[in-house]
Amino acid sequence: MKLWSKGNTAPQEVQHRIEEFTAGEDRHWDAFLAVVDVQGSIAHVNMLAKQGLLSEADHAILIPALQGLLELAKQGKLHLEEGVEDIHSQVELMLTRELGEVGKKIHAARSRNDQVLVDLKLYLREELLSLETEVQDFAKQMLALSEKHKDVLLPGYTHYQVAMPSSFGLWFASWAECLAEDLWQVHAAVKLVNKNPLGSAAGFGSSFPIDREQTTQELGFSNLHWNVLNAQMSRGRTEKSVATALAALGFTLGRMSQDIVLYLSQNFGFLRFPSAYTTGSSIMPHKKNPDVFELMRARCNRLQSLPNELALIQANLSTGYHRDLQIMKEHLFPALQELKSCFNMAGWMLEVVEVSESILSDEKYRYLFTVEAVNQKVLEGMAFRDAYVSVGQTVEAGKFEWNASLKHSHQGSLGNLCNGEIERQLNEVSEAIAKA
């Protein structure tokens, strides 16, 4: 079934080859939109009836039938049949089978263009809110680990060289604040996703006297795309905004994964996981490989290409709809699922992480404390540059003696992590996303 069919037929071989190429993987990804597609149709039919564009009798039989399809969709039982082009066609086909000609009336004042846009926005809104919950849970888990291990010191590095003292409290909490900042990009994406395009039709509006504010309210959108042409042009921009948010979150989680891979190696030995949480080697009996975090790192790194992939798909497209935009689903939908899976897996792994105590007692970390020695001399009255030279000379002479006691008290430092402020940031962005 094709909503655009005018009754003429092409040779079957030609028709099959064209359909196979143009549909691609779209039928598979349309299954993800079944629930929201029916929800969009229910809101549209309610609006048509209120505007007098659909009789009370037709409305009275269409809504129960659509609600039945909605229940099927929620159960995962609304599938695209062979020969049906997309989810919109499947819904209309099933209604027409059940109700006859009245089933075809749900398409009045709509185009597949605004149907798929509504579907995408409802689906992406749900997925982003689900992702935000996953990230929030993980970030707060990092704060709990920060508090638990706040007094355990570990080396800080710059240029992969021993630099200054850090702590597990500082390290774990840093990822929580990174994620709080990344979530503002999710907020920006939700703001764009949460605008109603329904009624824009093919991008040029409709001569039907529809009420776009009614469907906006019924579908829970915070606003609508007022200009109908802009509503259609939001296709592609919306997906790219979501992709940018995913890439930001992936960048943070990927970088954390890299730290964990390093910290698990024998050369570092800062972290440990139970053997069951690692994998082995086919020839080296001693190996305990961090495969989970290596694959997490790779998947998060791959996400960095996503905004550019979507930008290139729509590069140089003129105003209006183009079929090129269809391909975005097969890039964006799996990325959403994969990132949620990565955060879920990272949280599960870190439930059993063990940190190494007394790492800095090893003599190879003695020079972590040179800055502490410089600062102490300054506090005793020496000019900073003179103190720097003085300590540097003891290092060069091999006579530097270190003191591992630390007195960091400023906001966000080893002795004053300000984790309550980071949690406040997480709650603030969560509230903003909920209101977007």
How many Cβ atoms sit within 10 Å of the Cβ of residue 294? Answer: 15
Mean pLDDT check: name the lowest of 180-194, 237-251, 403-417. Answer: 403-417
Asked if residue 16 has pLDDT above 70, the reply is: no
Task: Decide which of 86 and 169 is more confident.
Answer: 169
Mean pLDDT check: name the lowest of 141-155, 178-192, 218-232, 314-328. Answer: 314-328
Of the chain, the percentage scoring pLDDT greater than 70 comes to 95
Pairwise CA distance, residues 183 & 186, whole Å: 5
Dihedral of CA atoms 324, 327, 328, 333 in degrees, nearest 10, equals 160
Q: Which fold is adopted by the domain 113-155+165-361+420-435?
A: Fumarase C; Chain A, domain 2 (1.20.200)
DSSP H/E element including 215: helix 212-218
Beta strands in 73-132 (DSSP E): none
Q: What mean pLDDT is predicted for residues 91-109?
A: 96
Q: What mean pLDDT is predicted for residues 58-73?
A: 97
Task: Decide which of 404 and 228 is more confident.
Answer: 228
Q: What mean pLDDT is predicted for residues 197-219?
A: 97
DSSP assignment of 160-199: TEEEEEEEHHHHHHHHHHHHHHHHHHHHHHHHHHTEE-TT
CATH architecture of the domain with range 12-108: Orthogonal Bundle (1.10)
Q: What mean pLDDT is predicted for residues 412-431?
A: 97
Pairwise CA distance, residues 385 & 259, whole Å: 33
Residue in the structure block whose two tokens are 């004053």 = 416
Q: How far is CA 173 from the centre of its chain?
A: 20
- Give the model's pLDDT for residue 7: 59
* Assigned token pair, 352: 């059993």
- Cα four-point dihedral sign 50, 54, 57, 63: negative
Bridge partners of 154, per DSSP, are 166
Asked if 48 contacts 102 with a C-beta cutoff of 8 angstroms, the reply is no
Q: How far apart are the first and last CA of the chain?
A: 38
Residue in the structure block whose two tokens are 């964990």 = 260
- pLDDT band for position 19 (50/70/90)? low
For strands 223-224 and 195-196, give the pairing.
Answer: parallel
Domain boundaries defined on the chain: 12-108, 113-155+165-361+420-435, 363-396
Pairwise CA distance, residues 290 & 271, whole Å: 11
Q: What mean pLDDT is predicted for residues 130-141?
A: 98
Q: What mean pLDDT is predicted for residues 342-357?
A: 97
pLDDT digit string (tens) for 291-313? 999 999 999 999 999 999 999 99
- Give the model's pLDDT for residue 85: 85
- pLDDT band for position 83 (50/70/90)? confident
Total residue count of the chain as it appears in this document: 436
For the chain, the C-alpha Rg in angstroms (whole number) is: 29
- Phi/psi of residue 266, each to 5°? -65, -30
Bridge partners of 289, per DSSP, are 279
Asked if 166 contacts 198 with a C-beta cutoff of 8 angstroms, the reply is no
How many Cβ atoms sit within 10 Å of the Cβ of residue 231? Answer: 25
**Which of 335, 331, 355, 332 has the alpha carbon at shortest distance from 343?**
335
Asked if 106 contacts 62 with a C-beta cutoff of 8 angstroms, the reply is yes
- Give the model's pLDDT for residue 402: 82
Asked if 300 contacts 257 with a C-beta cutoff of 8 angstroms, the reply is yes
Q: What is the mean pLDDT of the chain?
A: 94
Buried b (16+ CB within 10 A) or exposed e, 108-139: ebbbbbbbbbbbbbbbbbebbbebbebbbebb
- Give the model's pLDDT for residue 8: 58
Asked if residue 4 has pLDDT above 50, the reply is: no
The pTM score is: 0.92
Pairwise CA distance, residues 36 & 161, whole Å: 52
Pairwise CA distance, residues 375 & 381, whole Å: 10
Q: What mean pLDDT is predicted for residues 377-389?
A: 96
Query: Is residue 24 helix, strand or coil?
Result: coil
For strands 223-224 and 271-272, give the pairing.
Answer: unpaired
pLDDT digit string (tens) for 136-161? 999 999 999 999 999 999 999 999 99
Pairwise CA distance, residues 41 & 44, whole Å: 5
- Give the model's pLDDT for residue 166: 96
- Give the model's pLDDT for residue 68: 97
- Cα four-point dihedral sign 17, 18, 24, 27: negative
pLDDT digit string (tens) for 29-57? 889 999 999 999 999 999 999 999 999 99
